[in-house]
């Protein structure tokens, strides 16, 4: 596409940009350029379009550390590669995604899974009890030296059966939570993991070598490189166990994310209303009622197109 010439005015604008950027100072050239720009409105329009194409995104990139910019210099992939990556193969090793809906293959293959709107209570072979939130996926594996619960998606509360010889570990995309006889919540978020300790204590660790003990009533967020403590009083995060969504003060975006596992189809929240603040307690098992309640209390409009698409936008 880049070898094919565009319309003549666009080509002229580009030729000017190429000349002006060369780094050779030339005042006569500047004068000629001004003349070209003022010659015809079409010239000015083409120049503006070119400027837009070189706009604000580059400003952001200029501030970024060099190695992160180089992300742009990866080799292009073929269509075949693309389909392989999309199918979720070849990427399982990475384990680090920015998207909460993340890696497909593993989620589908996980042994412990809940469907949309389904919560499950299970007992694991070692006597521990597991509560899996809707839309979650996990695997459990016990050996003589440890018990490992891998959470791929969603949230869980686990009541760990004490066993001093085999530590109980919950692993997520960001890190691990290790316990010896305790009850706690682990939730896989888009780019972090939330840990809330309901009884006793756990030790959280991430690959960067950072560790942190989290005691009863405390909570933390795990990132690939660090662990951030959260304010106390997060126990309400586990209210889904009783089918309730408790919201103290959160953005609408976050509230809808908590509702997604309970509602089939796709919910899109328009950017203008994502940051609206929400307070309240909502029923998880009746997402229709929850959406109606949100619509009553916030300046939003909820439009459903059949069961698979719900749009939330600014009212009026």
Partner 1 sequence: MSASDSSKLGFFFSDHHRWLLQHVRRQLGNRADAEDTAAETFCQMLGARVDPDSIEQPRAYLSTIARRLIFDRHRRRRLEQAYLERLSLLPEALAPSPEDTHLLLEALHAVDRALAGLPLVVKKAFLMSQLDGLGYAEIGRRLDVCPRTVARYMTQALRQCYLSGVQP
Q: Binding segment for partner 1 among 18-26, 174-182, 196-204, 283-291 (CB under 8 A)?
A: 18-26
CB of 194 to partner 1, least distance (A): 14
CB of 13 to partner 1, least distance (A): 7
Tell which residue, 10, 11, 240, 276, has the closest CA to residue 135.
Answer: 240
14: helix, strand or coil: helix
Distance in angstroms (rounded) separating the CA atoms of residues 217 and 160:
17
Q: How far is CA 158 from the centre of its chain?
A: 23
C-alpha dist (Å) from residue 115 to 133, 139, 153, 272: 9, 15, 12, 30
CB of 79 to partner 1, least distance (A): 9
Q: Is residue 215 a contact residue for partner 1 (CB under 8 A)?
A: no
CB of 215 closer than 8 Å to CB of 203: no
Q: Is residue 283 a contact residue for partner 1 (CB under 8 A)?
A: no
Size of the site for partner 1 (CB under 8 A): 74
C-alpha dist (Å) from residue 205 to 175, 177, 209, 213, 223: 6, 6, 7, 9, 10
CB of 65 to partner 1, least distance (A): 5
Q: Is residue 41 a contact residue for partner 1 (CB under 8 A)?
A: no
Q: Is residue 305 a contact residue for partner 1 (CB under 8 A)?
A: yes
Give the residue, chosen from 61, 92, 109, 215, that forms a contact with partner 1 under the rule CB under 8 A: 61
The encoded tokens of residue 171 equal 């692993």
Distance in angstroms (rounded) separating the CA atoms of residues 184 and 196:
6
What pairs with residue 159 in β-bridges?
Answer: 129, 183
Site for partner 1 in 226-245 (CB under 8 A): 226
Q: Is residue 167 a contact residue for partner 1 (CB under 8 A)?
A: no
Print the binding letters for residues 81-120 with partner 1: x by CB under 8 A, - otherwise.
-xx-xxxx--x--x-xxxx-x--xx-xx------------
CB of 77 to partner 1, least distance (A): 7
């Amino acid at each position: 596409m880049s070898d094919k010439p565009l319309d003549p005015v666009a080509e002229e604008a580009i030729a000017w940009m190429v000349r002006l950027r060369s780094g050779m100072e030339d005042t006569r050239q500047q004068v000629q350029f001004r003349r070209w720009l003022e010659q015809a409105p079409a010239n000015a329009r083409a120049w503006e379009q070119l400027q837009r194409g070189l706009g604000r995104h580059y400003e952001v990139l200029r501030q970024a550390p060099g190695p992160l910019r180089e992300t742009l210099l990866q080799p292009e992939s073929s269509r075949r590669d693309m389909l392989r990556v999309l199918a979720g193969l070849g990427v399982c090793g990475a384990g680090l995604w920015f998207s909460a809906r993340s890696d497909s293959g593993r989620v589908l293959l996980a042994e412990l899974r809940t469907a949309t709107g389904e919560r499950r209570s299970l007992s694991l072979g070692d006597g521990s009890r597991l509560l899996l939130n809707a839309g979650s996926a996990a695997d459990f594996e016990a050996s003589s030296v440890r018990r490992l619960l891998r959470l791929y998606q969603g949230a869980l509360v686990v009541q760990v059966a004490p066993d001093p010889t085999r530590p109980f570990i919950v692993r997520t995309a960001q890190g691990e939570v290790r316990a010896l006889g305790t009850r706690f919540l682990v939730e896989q978020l888009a780019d972090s993991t939330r840990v809330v300790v309901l009884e006793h204590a756990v030790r959280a660790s991430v690959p960067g070598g950072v560790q942190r003990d989290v005691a009863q009533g405390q909570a933390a967020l795990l990132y690939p490189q660090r662990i951030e403590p959260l304010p106390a009083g997060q126990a309400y995060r586990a209210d889904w166990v009783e089918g309730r969504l408790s919201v103290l003060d959160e953005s609408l975006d976050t509230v809808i994310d908590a509702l997604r596992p309970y509602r089939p189809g796709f919910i899109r929240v328009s950017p203008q209303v994502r940051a609206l603040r929400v307070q309240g307690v909502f029923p998880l098992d009746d997402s229709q009622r929850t959406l109606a309640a949100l619509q009553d209390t916030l300046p939003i409009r909820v439009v459903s197109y059949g069961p698979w698409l719900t749009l939330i936008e600014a009212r009026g």
